[in-house]
């Protein structure tokens, strides 16, 4: 693995085009915090599989177009070079590019919409980083959530990009919870991982776990553990079974588990317990945002992850030093 990455590093040093590809791949990897082009490439394969298997190639195209457009826009905006080379201006754009064609009907203007969203995601990434500085918190996927929420909400008012039979804004119905057998449980866990990239696919899920593991075994373990904890907790509290088995209660908790357990805190038993509480509360936040957003007809995206992780990251300094 290391030798593959070294050979790739030599290639990117010689070719600006390959360097650009490298930044884009790292951008895809950064959706799950991995600054590694191989992880990004495996994630891209998972996205491709998930999109094509679901008969929605526009989703794959949207993701690729968006990360390329965002990286170009970041160059034009003369962003910080190190951040750009680590893919930090790409991961929000990838998600915008996957989300818009997932929720909106295909069409010529959709691509203009994706391009605008990708460019604005770069501005929003810098704005969020700037706003987070006094609090020493990372932007996470807030720029993706903000831009995509606005563009999906706006689609209600733009007939050129609005779905003719879009999901009706409505008050959330009472949850219907059914028993969950071992197979359904495993499916729910895997789909929780693939839903980070808005996919409900077992094959994609396995590719995502492999992609994580090639860069960080700890991240892969926390992703799987986060998914198991989230599915069990959601089911215990009687969450709608269709949402649980579709992975829709688990993708934000997966991100919280990886972020709190392996990225922002030095791993320890105490940190693992802290990450567990954060992961459980992300499930609560998921159910909460589902209910809050139902009347305006937009999905939660990764807002439950962003909200909970910010909450658990803000006290970082005092958590680590035991002061404050």
Q: Which of residues 81-120 bind a copy of itself (CB under 8 A)?
A: 83, 109, 113, 116, 119-120
Residue 188 as a binder of a copy of itself (CB under 8 A): the answer is: no
CB of 86: closest distance to a copy of itself in angstroms? 14
Residue 69 as a binder of a copy of itself (CB under 8 A): the answer is: no
Q: Which of 1, 14, 55, 159 binds a copy of itself (CB under 8 A)?
A: 159
Complex with a copy of itself: residue 161 or 225, whichever CB lies closer: 161
Residue 14 as a binder of a copy of itself (CB under 8 A): the answer is: no
Residue 19 as a binder of a copy of itself (CB under 8 A): the answer is: no
Contact 117, 151 (CB under 8 A): yes
Q: State the residue for tokens 């457009």.
A: 69
Q: Which of 19, 54, 72, 175 binds a copy of itself (CB under 8 A)?
A: 175
Encoded tokens for 54: 């679901």
Residue 149 as a binder of a copy of itself (CB under 8 A): the answer is: yes
Length of the chain: 324
Residue 323 as a binder of a copy of itself (CB under 8 A): the answer is: yes
Complex with a copy of itself: residue 11 or 314, whichever CB lies closer: 314
Packed helices 57-76 and 91-103: angle between N→C axes, nearest 10 degrees = 140
Q: Which of 169, 217, 267, 268 binds a copy of itself (CB under 8 A)?
A: 169
Q: What is d(CA 282, CA 193) in angstroms, rounded to the nearest whole number?
A: 14
Q: What is the per-residue DSSP string for 167-223?
A: PPP-PPPPP------HHHHHHHHHHHHHGGGT---HHHHHHHHHHHHHH-HHHHHHH
Complex with a copy of itself: residue 32 or 243, whichever CB lies closer: 243
Cα–Cα separations (whole angstroms), residue 148 to 152, 196, 220, 258? 6, 15, 27, 23
Angle at 247 between CA 245 and CA 251, to 5 degrees: 155
Q: Which of 171, 181, 182, 269 binds a copy of itself (CB under 8 A)?
A: 171
Q: Per CB under 8 A, which region of 37-45, 51-59, 164-172, 223-231 contacts a copy of itself?
A: 164-172
- Which residue, among 16, 122, 13, 107, has the nearest Cα to 67 in the 3D structure? 122
Contact 223, 233 (CB under 8 A): no
Q: Which of 290, 299, 301, 302 binds a copy of itself (CB under 8 A)?
A: 290
- Which residue, among 144, 138, 141, has the nearest Cα to 316 in the 3D structure? 138
Q: Per CB under 8 A, which region of 31-39, 61-69, 76-84, 210-218 contacts a copy of itself?
A: 76-84
Question: 243-262: which residues touch a copy of itself (CB under 8 A)?
Answer: 243
Residue 296 as a binder of a copy of itself (CB under 8 A): the answer is: yes
Q: Per CB under 8 A, which region of 14-22, 41-49, 190-198, 229-237 contacts a copy of itself?
A: 229-237
């Amino acid at each position: 693995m290391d030798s593959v990455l070294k050979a790739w590093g030599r290639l990117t040093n010689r070719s600006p085009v390959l360097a650009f590809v490298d930044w884009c791949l790292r951008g895809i990897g950064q959706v799950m915090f991995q600054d590694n082009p191989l992880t990004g490439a495996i994630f891209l394969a998972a996205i491709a599989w998930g999109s094509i298997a679901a008969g929605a190639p526009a989703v794959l195209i949207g993701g690729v177009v968006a990360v390329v457009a965002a990286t170009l826009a970041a160059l034009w905006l003369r962003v910080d070079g190190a951040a750009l080379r680590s893919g930090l201006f790409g991961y929000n754009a990838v998600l915008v590019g996957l989300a818009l064609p997932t929720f909106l009907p295909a069409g010529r203007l959709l691509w203009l919409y994706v391009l605008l969203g990708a460019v604005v995601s770069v501005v929003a990434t810098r704005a969020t980083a700037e706003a987070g500085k006094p609090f020493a918190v990372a932007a996470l996927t807030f720029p993706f959530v903000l831009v995509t929420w606005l563009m999906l909400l706006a689609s209600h008012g733009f007939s050129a990009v609005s779905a003719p039979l879009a999901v009706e804004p409505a008050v959330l119905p009472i949850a219907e919870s059914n028993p969950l057998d071992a197979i359904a449980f495993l499916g729910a866990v895997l789909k929780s991982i693939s839903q980070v990239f808005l996919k409900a696919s077992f094959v994609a899920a396995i590719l995502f776990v492999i992609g994580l593991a090639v860069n960080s075994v700890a991240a892969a373990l926390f992703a799987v553990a986060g998914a198991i904890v989230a599915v069990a907790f959601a089911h215990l509290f009687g969450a709608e079974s269709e949402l649980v088995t579709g992975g829709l209660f688990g993708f934000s908790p997966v991100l919280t588990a990886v972020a709190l357990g392996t990225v922002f805190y030095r791993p320890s038993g105490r940190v693992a317990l802290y990450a567990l509480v954060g992961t459980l509360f992300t499930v609560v936040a998921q159910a909460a945002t589902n209910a809050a957003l139902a009347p305006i007809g937009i999905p939660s995206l990764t807002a439950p992850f962003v909200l909970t992780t910010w909450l658990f990251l803000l006290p970082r300094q005092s958590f680590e030093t035991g002061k404050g």
